């Protein structure tokens, strides 16, 4: 559903001694995911539904810097 979603760092957030963008890059390589949340749509017994699942192996936290390409 949101396969073009990527994390950004519009305010150049620093996490301890490491830039947030560096953490994003690390977790993208480690997990092969572009973002912590995976979303999709489908049907269950004919009922339309949408689902979002956070994968905390990526990185948990605020989602302030996301955009679709």
Q: Which 3 state secondary structure label does DSSP give 58?
A: coil
Q: Domain of 49?
A: 16-54
Overall average pLDDT of the 3-23 stretch: 70
Q: What is the pLDDT of residue 57?
A: 81
Is 43 inside a domain boundary?
yes
Beta bridge partners of 54: 37
- Tell me the percentage of the chain whose pLDDT exceeds 90: 17
Domain count of the fold of the chain: 1
Measured distance CA(21)–CA(59) in Å, rounded: 12
Q: Which 3 state secondary structure label does DSSP give 1?
A: coil
Is 61 inside a domain boundary?
no
């Amino acid at each position: 559903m949101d396969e073009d979603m990527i994390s950004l760092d519009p305010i150049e957030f620093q996490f301890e001694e490491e830039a947030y963008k560096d953490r994003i890059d690390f977790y993208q390589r480690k997990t092969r995911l572009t973002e912590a949340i995976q979303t999709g749509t489908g049907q269950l017994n004919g009922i339309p539904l949408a689902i979002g699942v956070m994968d905390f192996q990526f990185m948990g936290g605020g989602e302030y810097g996301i955009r679709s390409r």
